[in-house]
């Protein structure tokens, strides 16, 4: 497999498209840093660059018959897929570093407001979720021979998964109980009527006239409490959906950017700090699952 890796890296270094995509990642980080806005729309280009790179890399080898020639030469499908996966992961790391190089100095104000331990977990998670994206793109591109189709599908997956993560986050933010308030009209007592006439009654009140023109005075009686939220997701589904949201490569993006916003406003407190240290295990599990799934399916695919 060492020869396969060496050939892959040599081809990438000589490919002008690789350098153009690297420049795109660098420019994306530059724009993100200059914007001063911690919105996930500025991170999407990094995912798109990875999708294009991986789709073109694998699709080109399908089109020119390189994959078939490798198998004829005695290379196993396992070695071929693992070499492609490792190259994709390495490219993801390089692109992520290029994205962060201009972003970090331009966002030092926000970063300086984040505790060191939280910053470590956020950085680790950002790299892991990009690796998970790379594993997903490799899985799709290894199964679809047409590079154009694979590229389009990978781009669709980016937006589909991000939309799914938005919906999951909305569902998981539902509180277990909702505030409830009931207002009823109560006739004023004689003492309260005297206060109304004297102009000293402090509560809001209203008048009603009957059919004879008689006036009656009423005030409001407000009862407050809580009621169960019908949209709240009960256990064990709540825990399962939270794990899914954290494992998706699109899930933690908004939370990480929200952490940057908190740093900018310097509102980090131990009681309400986001649990950023809980994300990396889920992203790592997602990365491993996608990698194994890609290997298993590629070994079953017929290479023509």
Nearest to 119 by CA among 262, 246, 244: 262
- Residue 117 and residue 263 in one domain: yes
End-to-end CA distance of the chain: 21
Per-residue b/e over 110-132, b at no fewer than 16 CB within 10 Å? bbebbeeebbebbbbbbbbbbbb
- Residue 208 and residue 135 in one domain: no
Mean pLDDT value across residues 45-64: 85
Given 188, 209, 228, the domain boundary residue is 228
Which pLDDT band, with edges at 50, 70 and 90, does 81 fall under? confident
- Residue 211 and residue 246 in one domain: no
Residue 40 and residue 254 in contact, taking contact as beta carbons nearer than 8 Å:
yes
Strands 205-209 and 215-228 come out as antiparallel
Predicted confidence (pLDDT) at residue 102 exceeds the cutoff of 90: yes
What span, in angstroms and rounded, lies between the C-alpha atoms of 138 and 136?
A: 5
- CA-to-CA dists, residue 2 to 9, 14, 35, 90, 282, angstroms: 11, 19, 42, 14, 30
What span, in angstroms and rounded, lies between the C-alpha atoms of 212 and 275?
A: 66
What span, in angstroms and rounded, lies between the C-alpha atoms of 290 and 81?
A: 13
Specify the range with the lowest mean pLDDT, choosing from 20-29, 153-162, 184-193.
Answer: 184-193
DSSP of 48-61: HHHHHHHHHHHHHH
Q: pLDDT value at position 268?
A: 65
Range of the domain at 203: 180-228
Q: pLDDT value at position 66?
A: 72
pTM for the model: 0.79
What span, in angstroms and rounded, lies between the C-alpha atoms of 253 and 125?
A: 9
Residue 113 per-residue DSSP state: T
**More confident position, 198 or 87:** 87
Q: pLDDT value at position 270?
A: 58
Which pLDDT band, with edges at 50, 70 and 90, does 272 fall under? low
Mean pLDDT value across residues 23-44: 86
What span, in angstroms and rounded, lies between the C-alpha atoms of 32 and 39?
A: 9
- Residue 163 and residue 288 in one domain: yes
Residue 145 and residue 68 in contact, taking contact as beta carbons nearer than 8 Å:
no
- Residue 192 and residue 289 in one domain: no
Nearest to 256 by CA among 92, 86, 119, 83: 119
What span, in angstroms and rounded, lies between the C-alpha atoms of 231 and 250?
A: 23
- Residue 219 and residue 249 in one domain: no
Mean pLDDT value across residues 211-225: 74
Proportion of the chain above pLDDT 70, given as a percent = 93
- Residue 56 and residue 94 in one domain: yes
Mean pLDDT value across residues 149-176: 88
- Residue 50 and residue 137 in one domain: yes
Predicted confidence (pLDDT) at residue 37 exceeds the cutoff of 70: yes
Which pLDDT band, with edges at 50, 70 and 90, does 292 fall under? very high
- Residue 217 and residue 294 in one domain: no
- Residue 143 and residue 282 in one domain: yes
- Residue 129 and residue 54 in one domain: yes
**More confident position, 135 or 260:** 135
Strands 177-187 and 205-209 come out as unpaired
- Residue 191 and residue 268 in one domain: no
Q: List beta partners, residue 207.
A: 217
Specify the range with the lowest mean pLDDT, choosing from 113-117, 162-166, 262-266.
Answer: 262-266
Give pLDDT tens digits for 121-142: 989 999 999 999 999 999 998 8
Total domains present in the chain: 2
Contacts of 119 (CB under 8 A, 6+ apart): 111
Q: pLDDT value at position 139?
A: 92
């Amino acid at each position: 497999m060492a020869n396969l890796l060496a050939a892959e890296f040599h081809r990438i270094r000589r490919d002008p498209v690789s350098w153009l995509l690297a420049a795109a990642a660098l420019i994306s980080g530059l724009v993100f840093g200059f914007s001063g806005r911690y919105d996930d729309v500025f991170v999407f280009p990094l995912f798109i660059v990875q999708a294009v790179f991986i789709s073109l890399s694998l699709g080109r080898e399908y089109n020119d018959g390189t994959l078939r020639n490798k198998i004829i030469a005695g290379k196993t499908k396992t070695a071929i897929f693992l070499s492609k996966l490792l190259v994709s992961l390495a490219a993801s790391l390089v692109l992520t570093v290029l994205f962060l190089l201009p972003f970090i100095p331009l966002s030092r104000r926000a970063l300086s407001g984040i505790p060191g331990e939280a910053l470590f977990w956020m950085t680790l998670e950002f790299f892991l979720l990009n690796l998970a994206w790379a594993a997903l793109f490799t899985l799709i591109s290894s199964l679809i021979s047409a590079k154009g189709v694979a590229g389009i599908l990978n781009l669709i997956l980016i937006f589909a998964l991000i939309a799914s993560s938005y919906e999951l986050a909305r569902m998981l933010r539902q509180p277990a109980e909702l505030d409830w308030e009931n207002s009823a009209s109560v006739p004023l007592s004689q003492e309260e009527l005297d206060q109304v006439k004297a102009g000293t009654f402090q509560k809001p009140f209203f008048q009603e006239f009957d059919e004879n023109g008689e006036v009656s005075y009423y005030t409001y009686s407000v009862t407050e409490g809580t009621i169960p939220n019908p949209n709240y997701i009960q256990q064990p589904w709540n825990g399962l959906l939270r794990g899914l949201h954290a494992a998706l490569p699109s899930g933690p993006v908004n939370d990480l950017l929200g952490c940057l916003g908190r740093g900018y406003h310097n509102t980090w407190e131990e009681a309400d700090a986001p649990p950023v240290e809980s994300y990396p295990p889920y992203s790592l599990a997602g990365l491993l699952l996608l990698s194994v799934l890609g290997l298993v399916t590629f070994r079953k695919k017929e290479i023509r």
